[in-house]
Amino acid sequence: MTTVALSHRLADRGIDRQLLLLVPATVFVVALFIYPFAYGMSVSLQPAQGGTFAAYQAFFTDAYQRDTITTTLAIALPAALLNVLASVPIAYRMRGRFRGKRLLTTILVVPITLGTVLTAEGLLNFLGPAGWVNRLLTTIGLIDTPLRLTNNYTGVFLSLVITGFPFAFLLVLSYLSGIDPSLERAAATLGAGWRQRFLRITLPLLAPGLATTFCLTFVLAFSVFPSAILVGDPSGSTRVISIAAYEAAYVRYDYAGASAAAIIMGAVELLVISVVLGLRALLYTGSTAGGKG
Amino acid sequence: MTGFDRLRLDGVTRRFAGADALTDLTLEIRRGEFIALLGPSGCGKSTALNCLAGLLPLSGGSIWRDDTRLDTLPPEKRGFGMVFQNYALFPHMSVQKNISFGLSMRGVPRAEARRRTTEAIRLVHLEEHARKLPGQLSGGQQQRVAIARAVVVEPSLVLMDEPLSNLDAKLRLEMRTEIRRLHQSLGLTTVYVTHDQEEALSLADRLVVLRDGRVQQIGTPEEVHTRPANRHVADFIGFRNLLPGRFSSAFFHTEGVRVKGTPVGTLEDGGPAVAAIRPEDVTLTGELDATVEVAEYQGREIAAEVRTDDGLVLHLRTDRRLAPGDKVRIGLPADRLLIFPS
């Protein structure tokens, strides 16, 4: 009988010892995500008073808490949608190679590095009651009283667009670059104008990528917290769900309520993402190359 | 878009970042003709095709279909069909949808579009695969879809960019015959780009040989095959023996060899020259003593590399079973040995 190397015998059973290298990463994920999640879940189910689901009951029976879900969705869904839709034409124009592409991409992407607080400060200086825009408009006599563009829904929405757009743009640009450019050329020789080329060839191949991009920007927008306070109206129109969780935890010291809010937040996100991914599954999601070679 | 009598390229030039990719291509294509643009990679043949298709703007010159100027029109207005090297099939559309795409873009009524699509699918023998996506097909099948998609719109001109280069040798031969058969039955004017001289010779009515963006020779396959215009064309078209030497008093001199040949072009007496002969034209009867150095078995024939006693290395093909070390006497027939100016 010949002895077969251990690694071969393990491989026969579908075990690859190199997979052991994934252990540190797995430990990391368990320690930093799964454990806190499970802990939060268990805290949310052990309220100071009432039954197991009392914290959830409290959240859903109190309109002031419950409405934070719709408030957050009302900000995050349009912001994510606008970020994706605005990225498409810009990325489409920039998909080829041209002089200055790198500079232009850098300019478009810089807001990602600013951080929410800096963006909020800029927004207040620029669009605030005494900001440049209002001063200019009053000076040239277009308006008498300053427009309210900050400390309300508009302020938070703009902040989410400024920080979310670069992210969506980069993703859409990379999805677009993955589409074989000869497909559009083929469509052109077959008589398709640019509109038909975009609608019949590029868009269907890009759509799954747009769905993924939407999900990611939506998650970013849904957890909005700093800008909801800094340029928003945190006790009214922009009282988002993360503010509700924050108040429960650090104002009322109701950890169960705060955890419940966090879990509800995650559940709503998951719901939206599964709807979008469900629709995505109906699309063509295969290769975006035109053939071999 | 209907047919034409003449398609004229007039001094077509294309520069990329200052370098000339194609210089002054002037060519007249008659209706129904099969033209092959032939040359090594980087010779400008694909550039020429893309200029014709409208996918690349010209840097100079013009393109005319009879009396209509074409080079200012976008590709979708030219009414040409194109087969791409990587096929460029729409991956999210079935074979049927791919083929009918051009018809629907041209506003062909639905019933007629369906009839013509079905016919095109039958023409390329893909009946069972009509509803599949391109990703589910083999390379040869994808290639046939690409061809059907280009010809179904009955274009006034079909452009093919190395359509066989991604196929294996056997399939390449099959598809070559298929393309020739399609051309004969449909009579479509075709411009075909290739670097494979055998493909060009077997398919085309006329060849345009390019090198470094410039036309070297335009002629029928036979003209190009037997009478290449210069040593570069000869090199490319299969004259594997290229011997540098000198031309003087009607003879070619090199390495102690003095042979008669057929001068091509203007030769300076006493000046440097290059003699060219195909391996299959070198005979095993003659007056040059040589030794076989390498023998490659090629089925019916042996391809051998021999060295003359004067040190001249020649390639030849023969049905004699040569082996390394064999002593042979070889001849260079004067009518097959072409002498070019260096």
| Interface pTM, i.e. ipTM | 0.84
Contact list in B for residue A195 (CB cut-off 8 A) is none
- Residue to mutate among A190, A196, A198, A280, with most B CBs inside 10 A, is A190
**With contact defined as beta carbons under 8 Å apart, do B113 and B100 qualify?**
yes
pLDDT of B249 reads: 79
Distance in Å, alpha carbon of B337 to nearest chain A alpha carbon? 40
Cross-chain Cβ contact A291/B166 below 8 Å: yes
Report the C-alpha gap between B63 and B86 in whole angstroms: 26
Give the pLDDT score at B148: 93
pLDDT in tens, B148-199: 999 999 899 999 999 988 888 888 888 899 889 889 888 889 999 999 999 9
Q: Do residue A185 and residue B85 have CB atoms under 8 angstroms apart?
A: no
Sort out which chain A residues have CB atoms less than 8 A from B84's CB and list them: 182, 185-186, 290-291
Q: How far is CA B77 from CA A190, B53, B290, in A?
A: 9, 10, 62
pLDDT score for B186: 86
Mean per-residue pLDDT of chain A: 90
Q: How many domains does chain A have?
A: 1
Q: Tally Cβ neighbours within 10 Å of residue B196.
A: 16
Residue A86 pLDDT level (bands cut at 50, 70, 90): very high
Look at residue A25 and tell me if it is in a domain. no
Q: Report how many Cβ contacts below 8 Å link chain A to chain B.
A: 102
Can you tell me the distance from the alpha carbon of A72 to that of A224, in angstroms, rounded to the nearest whole number? 8
**Which chain B residue lies closest to A202 (C-alpha atoms)?**
B90
What confidence score (pLDDT) does residue B1 get? 45
DSSP A199: I
What pLDDT is stored for residue A95 in this prediction? Answer: 83
Return the C-alpha torsion angle A45, A50, A55, A61, nearest 10.
150
Give domain status of residue A288, yes or no: no
Give the structural domain span for A150: 30-281
**What is the structure's pLDDT at B124?**
87
Reported as a pLDDT band with limits 50, 70 and 90, residue A99 is confident
- Is residue A293 pLDDT above 70, yes or no? no
Q: Which helix (H) or strand (E) holds B142?
A: helix B139-151
Q: For A254-274, how does the pLDDT look when each residue is reduced to its tens digit (9 = 90+)?
A: 999 999 999 999 999 999 999
Query: Which residues are bridge partners to B294 per DSSP?
Result: B305
Does residue A91 fall inside a structural domain?
A: yes
pLDDT at A8 over 90: no
Q: Looking at the domain assignment, is residue A289 inside a domain?
A: no
Q: Which residue of B has its CA nearest to A205?
A: B92
Q: Do A186 and B84 touch (CB under 8 A)?
A: yes
- Chain A residues near residue B146 by CB distance under 8 angstroms: 291
When pLDDT is averaged across residues A7-21 and rounded to a whole number, the result is 82
Bridge-based pairing state of the strands B157-161 and B80-83: parallel
Asked if residue A286 belongs to a domain, the reply is no
Closest CA to B37 of B228, B204, B222, B234: B204
Within-domain flag for A221: yes
Of the candidate ranges A80-84, A116-120, B275-279, the one whose mean pLDDT is the lowest: A116-120
Domains of chain B (ranges; CATH) run: 6-231 (3.40.50.300), 239-341 (2.40.50.140)
Spatial distance between the Cα atoms of A269 and A264, rounded to a whole number of angstroms: 9
Please indicate if any CB of chain A lies within 8 Å of the CB of B84. yes
Asked if the model's pLDDT at residue A132 lies above 80, the reply is: yes
pLDDT of amino acid B231: 92
For residues B11 and B171, give the distance between their C-alpha atoms in angstroms, rounded to a whole number: 37
At A146 the pLDDT is: 86
- Give the best residue of A189, A198, A199, A284 to mutate against chain B (max B CB count within 10 A): A189
Residue A13, in any domain of the structure:
no
* Separation of alpha carbons A181 and B159, rounded Å: 18
Judge whether A210 lies within some domain: yes
Chain A residues whose C-beta is within 8 A of a chain B C-beta are 180, 182-183, 185-193, 196, 200-201, 204-205, 284, 286-293
Give the pLDDT band (50/70/90) at residue A236.
confident
Strands B34-38 and B60-65: unpaired
Which of B52, B86, B132 to probe the A interface (max A CBs under 10 A)?
B86
Tens-digit pLDDT profile for chain B (342 aa)?
457 889 999 999 999 887 889 999 999 999 999 999 999 988 999 999 999 999 999 999 999 999 999 999 999 999 899 999 999 999 999 999 999 999 999 999 999 999 999 999 998 889 999 999 999 999 889 999 999 999 999 899 999 999 988 888 888 888 899 889 889 888 889 999 999 999 999 999 999 999 999 999 999 999 999 999 999 999 999 899 999 999 987 889 887 788 899 999 888 888 899 999 999 999 998 888 999 999 999 989 999 999 998 888 999 999 999 999 999 999 999 999 999 998
Alpha-carbon span A171 to A162, nearest angstrom: 15
Interchain contact B53–A (C-beta under 8 A) = yes
Is A185 in Cβ contact with B106 (below 8 Å)?
no
Q: What is the CATH number of the domain that holds A81?
A: 1.10.3720.10
Asked if the C-beta of B135 comes within 8 angstroms of chain A's C-beta atoms, the answer is yes
